[in-house]
Copies of this chain bind each other. A is one copy, B any other.
Amino acid sequence: MTASTQIRLAARPVGEPQDSDFETTTEELPGLADGQVLLRTLYLSLDPYMRGRMSDAKSYAEPVPIGGAMVGATVCEVVESRSERRAVGDVVLAYTGWQTYAVADARATRRLDPEVAPVQTALGVLGMPGFTAYAGLLEIGRPQPGETVVVAAATGPVGSAVGQIARIKGARAVGIAGGEEKTRALIEDFGFDAAVDHRAPDFEEQLAAATPDGVDVYFENVGGPVGAAVVRRLNKLARMPVCGLVADYNATEVPAGPDRLPGFMGRVLRLSLTVRGFIQDEFVPTHHEAFLREMGAWVAEGRVRYREDVVDGLENAPEAFRGLLTGRNFGKLIIKVAP
């Protein structure tokens, strides 16, 4: 018998998740059935979408039930196998959530080759966040050479990939991040053409200076006042892939007026804008193979770089997750679960 330490959803958060919204338990895992594997979690991915799963508002995915383990992508080692597909010692991508061990169907795992790339990149640049950037930018944003692409949360795993892919496609990449350290990293580490600090008092002036020809693609993953400022700079026929609105995720009430919706729709009409929400799943059948091939090559060649923010210990996941929702992390947030 193997004991697994789990972090469960204890209560649906109101606003920012509190410690009391989580509970830690240990449970004995059942023995393996045919086709199953026992997995030891090496790395757990923390991502903004998890805030949505904690809520029971209607969404594209079922909420985590109260008392259920928090969900999430993981990189695991196979420690026991009753499947011919996976051998003990294999490292796999799985979706086993916030726990130290789990039983899973072997078919629900994907084997990772540590020779190709560090295994935890399957949670970031070569995983869901990287694919979100790739599919959303190329399929919805469709940046053309010479156009201006803007993305916020730009040192994060989605934003940094958006900027670098935009540049590979010949566009000008403008990143928005909070604070001097992050904006410097945008230029020096990720090769953005310009960086804008949304915490600076002259944020809007910085944004205008960084986008002298307006904005052709705004890859929206934050919403809030930052999103509103970029929307005001959109050009005719601009495209706006919408994959996240993290600034609003902790909102607890309908925001006060004025009502900006009529103004926004008027802009959509006058500028012939395309606003398109998406979840990366939609594009897996059509784009995932190309993503693994192209993005894998770009990472191997150093044309797409990535940054990880690794936090030690599953017990620190709730605090790290709160930080993710307010921009305190710096790079792809990963919990190193196994010691």
Contacts and interface: CB of A to CB of B under 8 A. Distances in A.
A200 interface: no
A255 B248 contact: no
B251 A262 contact: yes
A58 interface: yes
B258 A255 contact: yes
A116 interface: no
B255 A269 contact: no
Given A259-B258, A261-B259, A277-B272, A266 B282 contact: no
Nearest to A58: B270
Tell me how many chains of this kind the complex includes: 2
Nearest to A274: B276
Given A236-B60, A248-B266, A266-B248, A272 B261 contact: no
Interface residues of A, number: 42
Interface in A17-32: none
A273 interface: yes
Given A258-B257, A259-B258, A273 B264 contact: no
A271 to B, nearest CB: 7
A59 B273 CA distance: 13
A254 interface: yes
A223 interface: yes
A274 B274 contact: yes
Given A264-B264, A274-B276, A275-B276, A259 B269 contact: no
Contacts of A282: 237, 272
A39 interface: no
A52 to B, nearest CB: 8
Nearest to A228: B261
Contacts of A276: 268, 272-276
Interface in A238-257: 242-245, 248, 251, 254-257
A272 B223 contact: no
Contacts of A118: none
A135 B59 CA distance: 31
B258 A256 contact: yes
A256 B254 contact: no
Interface of A: 52, 58-60, 220, 223, 227, 236-237, 242-245, 248, 251, 254-279, 282
Given A52-B270, A254-B263, A273-B276, 11 more contacts: A60-B272, A220-B265, A237-B282, A242-B269, A245-B262, A254-B259, A255-B257, A255-B258, A255-B259, A260-B261, A264-B264
